Each structure stands twice: as C-alpha cells, then as structure tokens.
Amino acid sequence: MVNTNIISVFGFFLFVASGCYAQKVFAVQYANQADVRVFVATYPNQADLKVYNLKYQNQTDINNGN
C-alpha cells in the first residue's frame, strides 16, 4: 500500500515537525537508511515534504517491508 505509507510518513513529519526533535526521530526511525544524513542536510527545516515523499518513496517502501 504505497499511498498509505506515504500518507503515514507525511503525517508523522507534520506531527513532529519542530527543528532538531523531528530530525532525531527521523534518524532513529530510519537508522538503516544510508541517506539519512543527506535528508537532514538537504531539508534541515523539513519544509518540503512533497519533495521528500517523491525522492525517498522507494526507501520508505523498503523500510515498511513492501
């Protein structure tokens, strides 16, 4: 269910979208992804969630076991 995964990730970031706290939660939840550091460097304010969803859709699906 790709659409459900994307929506849940989007909602997750809306829920914790407050500076460093959101980045720490991201790093913990997706610690097995190789490009966590790239995400933090590219989206330090986590403002552009649509771009994140498109760019990291495959990694999200892998993490969710799809």
CA distance 14 to 18: 9
Number of domains in the chain: 1
CA distance 43 to 33: 16
Q: What angle do CA 5, 8, 33 make, to 5 degrees?
A: 65
Q: How confident is the model at residue 5, as a pLDDT?
A: 54
- Where the chain has pLDDT below 50, the residues are 1, 16, 20, 66
Q: How confident is the model at residue 39, as a pLDDT?
A: 53
pLDDT digit string (tens) for 28-45?
Answer: 555 555 555 555 555 555
Owning domain of residue 34: 2-63
Amino acid at 57: Q
Per DSSP, 43 falls in state -
To the question of pTM greater than 0.75 for the whole model, the response is no
